Amino acid sequence: MLGHCTSAGLSVCVTHHKTMRVCIFLLLLCAGASWALICRQVAGRMKQIDTSNGQVFAVDLRGNVFTRRGEVWARVPGNLGHVTVGAAGVWGVGRDQKVYKLVDGSWAIMAGLLKQIDGGGNQIIAGVNAGNNVFCSNKRDTVRAAHFFTPVYKHIRGKMKYYSCGSHTCWGVNPSGYIYCRLHVKPVFCLGSHWLRVNGRFRMVEVGTDGTVYAIDLHWRVFRRVGISAARPQGIRWVHLNFIGRRFRHVTADLGTLWLVELNGNLIRCQ
């Protein structure tokens, strides 16, 4: 069981000016006892998206990179497999697994080979390579990174296929889908101390700027981890966000806004 606290959902779709189908979703989480979200489908088709401190970056189905400016997408030069934005800056990995950092509007090739990268930690970066090995870079090395021989990476023991960091903790999903919280991660010690197993099986997990944790399970459903605190960074239970039959490949959250990517690439924004 992922948790007994589930959500109720309502979906309404209308055709606007005979050209655009607009869908509005109302999510009443924990039977309306906690909080509600109003969600809308927005223009664009992406395969992956990341947000932090009001910034939004995404990669479309062909690897083109975009950033959100107001209510429109602006093209960022380059072609990537995965992009991330956070306190560590804007980073990405190519389909060839080369690591890039956005420096003065251009992508600079950095050290390392990764298939997924995350810059949401407290000015640290972290990610996993093709062998599901986990790496991170401390704040000092990350901030100074500007050329091919930087940053310096630390190897974290354990195998993960996806790894994401917030300001205090990181979360990972291993190749079998089991999920773990990495404890005592600090800017000067990105390695953290140890893994803590959390119930549930997932495809990916994302930690928001405010420490919120969202995940996509093996059935492409969205869950939020509740009960997270300084004393209990792993939280208490999972809450299912019921989108009434819709399936998702990616999720990210920032400053009260939730972004979701459906399997077909459609985007949904919840506030």
The per-residue pLDDT of the chain, averaged, comes to 89
Q: What is the pTM of this model?
A: 0.89
pLDDT digits (tens, 9 = 90+) for 106-115: 999 999 999 9
pLDDT digits (tens, 9 = 90+) for 210-245: 889 999 999 999 999 999 998 999 999 999 998 888
Query: What is the DSSP secondary-structure string of the chain?
Result: ---S-BEEEEEEEEEETTTEEEEEEEEEEGGGTS-EEEEEEEEEEEEEEEEETTEEEEEETTSEEEEEETTEEEEEEEE-SEEEEETTEEEEE-TT-EEEEEETTEEEEEEEE-SEEE--SSS-EEEE-TT-EEEEE-HHHHHH--STT----EEEEEE-SEEEE-SS-EEEE-TTSEEEEEES-BTTBTT-SEEEEEEEEEEEEEE-TTS-EEEEETTS-EEEEE---SS-TT-SEEEEE--TT--EEEEEEETTEEEEEETTSEEEEE-
Predicted local distance difference test score (pLDDT) of residue 9: 52
pLDDT digits (tens, 9 = 90+) for 252-269: 999 889 999 999 999 999
Whether the per-residue pLDDT at 20 is higher than 80: the answer is: no
* Structural domains in the chain plus CATH codes: 44-270 (2.120.10.30)
Predicted local distance difference test score (pLDDT) of residue 132: 98
Whether the per-residue pLDDT at 52 is higher than 90: the answer is: yes
Whether the per-residue pLDDT at 13 is higher than 50: the answer is: no
